[in-house]
Structure 1
Amino acid sequence: KFQLDPYSRCMFAFCNRRRTLIKILQWDGSGFWILMKRLDRDAFHWPDTPDELRQVTLKEMHWLCDGLSLDQKDAFEEHHPKIVV
């Protein structure tokens, strides 16, 4: 549906309707890993519609798994220096 390649090195995250469960799917070259986290109480901050599909950084994925919103206004912006030889 989203025209994405599950065999890429990307991680794909999915959430249930109640937003109490996250599953992360990743291909490692020889098979798939499935990671799962279920909350005892509360819910994950998850986009409301499939139209809000977005690419996130590993830091943002950690925020999500920690129960935080993807939009942390006080977080430092990531900068990756380029190495020139």
Structure 2
Amino acid sequence: MRKSIDGLCAVVEDQLHMDPRRSALYLFCGKRCDRIKALLWEPDGFVLLYKRMEVQGRFRWPRNQLEVKQLT
């Protein structure tokens, strides 16, 4: 969870083979699944959101391709 906007854009381009400037929301999760970052492109620049769970709990994160869901 150390990457900022430029680092996350590089992950989207290099590992996902996608354009970070297209109309999509990219979510990134930490190892403990208690923090997420969201990267979103708007016409005037990127938005980076960060959420950390303060209560005991974790985000449910897909562990393989079959668990991946498309958000609408």
- TM-score, normalised to structure 2, is 0.67
Identity %: 30
Rounded Cα–Cα distance in structure 2 between residues aligned with 1:37 and 1:2: 22
Q: More strand by proportion, 1 or 2?
A: 2
Q: Number of aligned pairs? A: 57
Specify the alignment match of 1:44 in structure 2: 59
- TM-score, normalised to structure 1, is 0.58
CA 47–55 in structure 1, closer or farther in 2 if over 3 Å, else same: closer
Q: Which has the higher contact order (CA 8 A, sep 6+)?
A: 2
CA 53–24 in structure 1, closer or farther in 2 if over 3 Å, else same: farther
Structure 1 residues not aligned, in runs of 5+: 59-85
Give 1:2 shift.
Answer: 1.2
Larger Cα-atom Rg? 1
Q: More helix by proportion, 1 or 2?
A: 2
Specify the alignment match of 1:22 in structure 2: 36
CA contact (8 A) 2:62 2:68 kept: no
Structure 2 residues not aligned, in runs of 5+: 1-14
For 1:3-82, list aligned pairs within 5 A. Answer: 3-40=17-54, 41-49=56-64, 51=65, 54=68, 56-58=70-72
Question: RMSD in angstroms over aligned alpha carbons?
Answer: 1.9
The ranges of structure 1 where at least 4 consecutive aligned residues each deviate by more than 6 angstroms after the TM superposition are none
